[in-house]
Amino acid sequence: MKRLSGLLVFCALAAAWEGLSRWGVVSRLYFPPVSTIAATFWDLTVSGLLPGQALSTVSRAVAGLLLALAVMAPLGLAMGVSRRLSALLTPTVELLRPVPPPAIIPAAMLLFGIGTGMKLVVIVFACSFPILVGAVDGARSIDPGFRLTAAAYGLSRRDLLFGVILPAAGPSVAAGFRTAVPMALIVAVLSEMIGASSGIGHYILRMQRTFAIPEMYAGVAMLGLWGLALNAGTQQVLARLLRWHAGWKGGI
Amino acid sequence: MLTIEGLTKSYSQNGSPATCALGGVSFSVPKGAFVSLVGPSGCGKSTLLQCVCGLMRPTAGRVTLAGREISAPPPEMALIFQNAAASLFPWFTILGNIRFVLRRAPGSKAQKLETARSALAAVGLADFAEHYPWQLSGGMQQRAALARGLAYGAEILLLDEPFASVDAQTREDLEDLLAGVARQQGKTVLFVTHDIDEAVYLADTVVALTPPPAKVAAILPIDLPHPRDQIASREDRRFLDARKAIHALLRRV
């Protein structure tokens, strides 16, 4: 019922747009009727143009995310466990972290051109910090009781790492990863708008410049849907991996 | 025979004068005996236990097991913590928790699984193997922690106020469970508690500690027949005498 009323609000807003556009209250060129956009969206989707453009964007975002996870999660855990490593790297991290990722796009273009490499570098840069910080926090905040138990039962360092530190830090790493997902998409699209010959960011900008306004909106809608799917997919996978955590926190 | 000789532990916190938790504690735990260690709260009982199993290095003195000095947690000892919720890993099931501490133990996978299952059966949790710790009540979590200690195969169980945070009824059940299992499996037990009645009820010998820096105030043999009974044993003259003696001792010091 609540879901339904939420959907009704969305439909009402879409209908208002449609009406305002058709009655000429707003510029029909800049705000084409929703039905026109929907029809364009449908045509471009069936022809495979939009999904193709979106796929190249989303696959870059996902690749960047996974790359950042593969590098930063282990590094963050190591920093959380080792005081020395943390002291060594924390100043660098704290200096680089506040840099808004789009700010490095020009430099990345200079170094890597406008190909996939440049975009991956920027996406990895953007996703690295939330994941790194999550991993550091996770490894640092492990209940000392768990470590003591592992020590009392003579477990090896390897067992401590994979059986205690990794699962205990999991929820925190996951929180960082969840933050990184929308950032990956944002930076992927932005890097395509600045320097690219493909991808949905490039497409949206090109359509705007050629006054193909319904196409532009269709591109935005396609991105929105992908964002939704990406978030939902992440949520599903993490909920499965961390089922114990939801139960633990909910159970006490 | 587990021997604790002149165990001293003082903590110094950056610059401030050292606080002395243990001031030369000596006693021994014969093989197969059930020894309760009782003392006022904050008298360093947990510190003592951690020194005994080699988790903490004493400032002076030593702990020997059959003549061998303990410097790291030995496979002959299993430590069972006061707070089972912070000691059972919430990401493993109860069975998973037991199998995890058996990783370094000798034997095949099937043998270890069998060991784990029989330990769970011994504490009455056979049907809860696939449950997660947080799905169990406090008393059941403590049973699970006990099962993990039993499965570990250690001949010595060290328990650090294991029943301090469960309700009275559950506590009696757990006391009888521990006493039964320890006798049945021939375990040596060093049981730390601040509850004098519990100490006397369970033990063959009670070691009473003074307030910090803790020293041994008295070592009292408890001459009560086994198996003990929550009602009969606690009404027994010998129980009451021992209880009174320890009370007097701890009040005086």
Residue A148 contacts B where some CB pair is shorter than 8 Å:
yes
Q: Can you give the pLDDT at residue A252?
A: 44
| pLDDT at B45 (0 to 100) | 87
Residue B155 clears pLDDT 80, i.e. is over it: yes
Residue B251, beta-bridge partner list: none
CB < 8 Å to B75, chain A = 154
A141: helix, coil or strand? coil
Q: Which of A145, A156, A167 sits opposite B81 (nearest CB)?
A: A145
Average pLDDT over residues B90-105: 93
In chain B, what percentage of residues exceed pLDDT 90?
Answer: 59
Nearest CA-CA distance, residue A168 and chain B, Å: 8
Interface test with A, best of B99, B101, B115 (most A CBs within 10 A): B101
Nearest by CB to B100, from A148, A163, A247: name it.
A163
Q: Is B45 helix (H, G, I), strand (E, B) or coil?
A: helix
Picking from A141, A146, A149 by the largest number of B CB atoms within 10 A of its own CB, the best residue to mutate is A149
Contact B80, B146 (CB under 8 A): yes
| Residue corresponding to tokens 């935005």 | A220
Largest CA distance in chain B: 55
Q: Does the global pTM surpass 0.90?
A: no
pLDDT of residue B15: 63
DSSP state of B128: G
Map residue B209 onto helix, strand or coil: strand
A33 touches chain B (CB under 8 A): no
Give the CA distances from residue A113 to residues A101, A102, A110, A116, A124, in Å, rounded to whole numbers and listed in that order.
17, 15, 6, 9, 16
Q: Is B216 helix (H, G, I), strand (E, B) or coil?
A: strand
Instruction: Collect all residues with Cβ–Cβ distance below 8 Å to A19 and sequence separation of at least 6.
Output: A25
Q: Which of A12-16, A126-130, B8-12, B205-209 shows the lowest mean pLDDT across its residues?
A: B8-12
- CA angle in degrees (0–180, nearest 5) for B142-B124-B136: 45
A143 to chain B, any CB pair closer than 8 A? The answer is: yes
Measured distance CA(A139)–CA(A209) in Å, rounded? 48
Which among B55, B90, B134 is the nearest to A151, CB-wise?
B55
Which residue carries 């890097």 as its tokens? A191
Query: By the CB < 8 Å criterion, does A146 face chain B?
Result: yes
Q: Where are the alpha helices (DSSP H) in A98-143?
A: 105-112, 116-140
Q: Given this model, what pLDDT does residue B253 score?
A: 57
- The whole-chain average pLDDT of chain B stands at 90
Angle (nearest 5°) at CA B126 between B125 and B131: 70
pLDDT band at A10 (very low <50, low <70, confident <90, very high): very high
| Mean pLDDT, rounded, for A140-161 | 91
Residue B115: pLDDT above 80?
Answer: yes
The enclosing H or E element of B7 equals strand B2-11
In angstroms, the CA A231 to CA A206 distance is 27
Of A145, A154, A168, the CB nearest to B73: A154
The single-letter DSSP state of residue A162 is I
| Confidence band of A2 (pLDDT split at 50, 70, 90) | confident
Q: Is the pLDDT of residue B88 over 50?
A: yes
ipTM beyond cut 0.85: yes
Average of per-residue pLDDT across A216-243: 93
Of B72, B74, B87, which has the smallest distance from its Cβ to A149's Cβ?
B87
Question: What is the pLDDT, as a whole number, of residue B43?
Answer: 79
Mutate one of B56, B81, B134, B140 to test the A interface: name it (highest A CB count within 10 A): B134
Architecture of domain A32-242: Orthogonal Bundle (1.10)
Q: What is the pLDDT of residues B72-84, one digit of tens each?
A: 899 999 999 888 8
Residue A40 has pLDDT above 50, yes or no: yes
> Residues B38-62: pLDDT tens digits?
988 777 888 899 999 999 999 999 9
Alpha-carbon span B182 to B146, nearest angstrom: 11
Overall residue count recorded for chain A in this entry: 252
- Chain A residues touching residue B132 (CB < 8 angstroms): 244, 247-248, 251
H or E segment to which residue A177 belongs? helix A166-194
Domain residue ranges of chain A, discontinuous segments joined by +: 32-242
Spatial separation of the C-alpha atoms in residues B205 and B34, rounded to whole Å? 7
Q: Is the pLDDT of residue A249 over 90?
A: no
The single-letter code of the amino acid at B98 is I
Nearest CA in chain A to B85: A145
In this structure, are strands B188-193 and B34-38 parallel, antiparallel, or unpaired?
Answer: parallel
Kindly list the structural domains of chain B, giving each domain's residue range(s) and its CATH number in brackets, ordered by start: 2-252 (3.40.50.300)
- Beta carbons of B86 and B165 less than 8 angstroms apart: no
Q: Summarize pLDDT for A69-115 with one digit per residue, the tens.
A: 999 999 999 999 999 999 999 999 999 999 999 999 999 999 998 88
Residues of B in contact with A151 (CB under 8 A): 55, 73
Cross-chain residue pair A146–B132, CB shorter than 8 Å: no
Residue-level pLDDT at A1: 66
Chain B contact for A164, CB < 8 A?
yes
Q: How far apart are the first and last CA of chain A?
A: 30
Residue B100 near chain A (CB below 8 Å): yes
Beta strand ranges found along B89-184 (DSSP E):
156-160
Task: Give me the amino acid identity at A47.
Answer: S
User: What is the rounded distance in angstroms from the CA atom of residue B7 to the CA atom of residue B24?
Assistant: 5
The SS3 of residue B88 is: coil
Q: pLDDT > 70: what percent of chain B?
A: 98
